[in-house]
């Protein structure tokens, strides 16, 4: 038999919940139960992946301390992770014992929160422990309290051993009506998703991708469905001033675009396109905002270079030609 303990307190010295857990764990280990404790304050970066640890457990103890109000952030986050990433089929066979100690007010309400949450996940709840502790020394030295805790631990073990049959609860109906709207995932897919969710780099990358897509579609709406890359390219085509004596490829590496814009000038012919080209005459690196300022006639290419808003590599003598070939800014 294996029982997992999930402790949602802060782990501070004198926490009465830790004392209760130590007594319960001692009783269970004497009964040859394998007990594994997860301190959520130590696992805070991996909480979303912790539901996978339920898969080989016969029972769990959800324990937290009310220091101000409610079950606390770590336990709430763990329960959220169980809802989104836990194997509901497995959870339905797991017995749970709630343990909530309070140094203020609200231990009964917090215990009810844990019970209701576990019921909605489809699990089975056994009577647990809740209590108020005003003085740690008096509480820990009271043999009647210790005896009560030990008896509850023994009762929890007996219920698991004989696979106690529990009556159905109404909150499980809520789970049924809420969960049918979610995407159906296999336990393996759910576990993999929880690992991705706990990976800060992966989450940050996803946020950046979503932001990029949002900006892209916002731009499409603003430009009547035309991509911003195409709008900029068209602006250069419209403003091109032919010069039969000029030949070369002027490449604009715009930071926000995946491929550089190549302005291939062959005398009176302009061939603009996006793509990699290592044979450019001059390479200009700049942000999209600077390109838009140039197109709007607010600054010239040479002014962007002088202010440091644009970096240039290649034949510097041809930089001035950009303003002559594409005179966006009217001469004063």
pLDDT for position 45: 87
pLDDT for position 224: 53
Q: pLDDT grade, residue 182 (50/70/90)?
A: very low
Q: Which residue has the higher pLDDT, 244 or 211?
A: 244
Residue 127 pLDDT greater than 70, yes or no:
yes
pLDDT for position 174: 57
Q: What is the mean pLDDT of the chain?
A: 86
Q: Which residue has the higher pLDDT, 259 or 191?
A: 259
Residue 207 pLDDT greater than 80, yes or no:
no
* 92-118 confidence digits (pLDDT tens): 999 999 999 999 999 999 999 999 999
CB 261, CB 233: distance < 8 Å:
yes
- Per-residue pLDDT, averaged over 201-225, amounts to 61
pLDDT for position 101: 97
**Helix 143-161 with 16-30: angle, nearest 10 deg:** 50
Residue 170 pLDDT greater than 80, yes or no:
no
Catalogue all structural domains in the chain, each as residue range(s) with its CATH number: 2-197 (3.40.50.360), 228-325 (3.30.1050.10)
* 220-275 confidence digits (pLDDT tens): 445 455 578 888 999 999 999 988 888 899 999 999 888 999 999 998 999 999 99
pLDDT for position 315: 82
Q: Which residue has the higher pLDDT, 70 or 192?
A: 70
Residue 295 pLDDT greater than 50, yes or no:
yes
pLDDT for position 186: 59
pLDDT for position 316: 80
- Per-residue pLDDT, averaged over 45-67, amounts to 94
pLDDT for position 314: 87
Residue 187 pLDDT greater than 60, yes or no:
no
pLDDT for position 243: 80
Q: Give pTM, 2 decimals.
A: 0.57
* 310-320 confidence digits (pLDDT tens): 999 988 888 88
Residue 36 pLDDT greater than 90, yes or no:
yes
- Per-residue pLDDT, averaged over 181-204, amounts to 59
């Amino acid at each position: 038999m294996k029982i997992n303990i999930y402790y949602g307190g802060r782990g501070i010295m004198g926490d009465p919940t830790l004392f209760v857990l130590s007594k319960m764990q001692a009783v269970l280990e004497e009964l040859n139960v394998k007990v594994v404790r997860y301190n959520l304050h130590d696992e805070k970066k991996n909480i979303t992946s912790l539901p996978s640890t339920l898969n080989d457990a016969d029972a769990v103890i959800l324990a937290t301390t009310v220091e101000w109000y409610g079950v606390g952030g770590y336990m709430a986050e763990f329960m959220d992770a169980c809802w989104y990433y836990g194997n509901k089929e497995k959870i339905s066979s797991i017995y749970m014992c709630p343990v909530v100690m309070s140094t203020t007010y609200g231990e009964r309400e917090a215990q009810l929160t844990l019970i209701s949450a576990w019921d909605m996940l489809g699990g089975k709840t056994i009577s647990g422990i809740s209590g108020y502790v005003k003085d740690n020394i008096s509480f820990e030295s009271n043999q009647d309290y210790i005896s009560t805790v030990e008896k509850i631990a023994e009762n929890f073990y007996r219920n698991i051993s004989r696979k106690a049959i529990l009556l159905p609860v109404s909150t499980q109906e809520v789970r049924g009506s809420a969960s049918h709207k979610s995407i159906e995932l296999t336990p393996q897919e759910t576990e993999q998703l929880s690992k991705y969710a706990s990976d800060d780099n992966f989450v940050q990358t996803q946020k950046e991708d979503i932001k990029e897509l949002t900006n892209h579609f916002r731009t499409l709406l603003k430009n009547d469905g035309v991509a911003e890359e195409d709008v900029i390219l068209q602006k250069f085509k419209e403003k091109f001033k032919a010069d039969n004596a000029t030949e070369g490829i002027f490449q604009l590496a715009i930071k926000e675009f995946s491929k550089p814009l190549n302005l291939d000038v062959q005398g009176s012919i302009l061939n603009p396109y996006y793509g990699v080209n290592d044979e450019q005459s001059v390479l200009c690196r700049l942000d999209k905002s600077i390109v838009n300022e140039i197109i709007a006639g607010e600054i010239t290419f040479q002014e962007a270079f002088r202010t440091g808003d644009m970096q240039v590599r290649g034949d510097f003598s041809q930089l001035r030609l950009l303003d002559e070939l594409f005179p966006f800014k009217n001469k004063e």
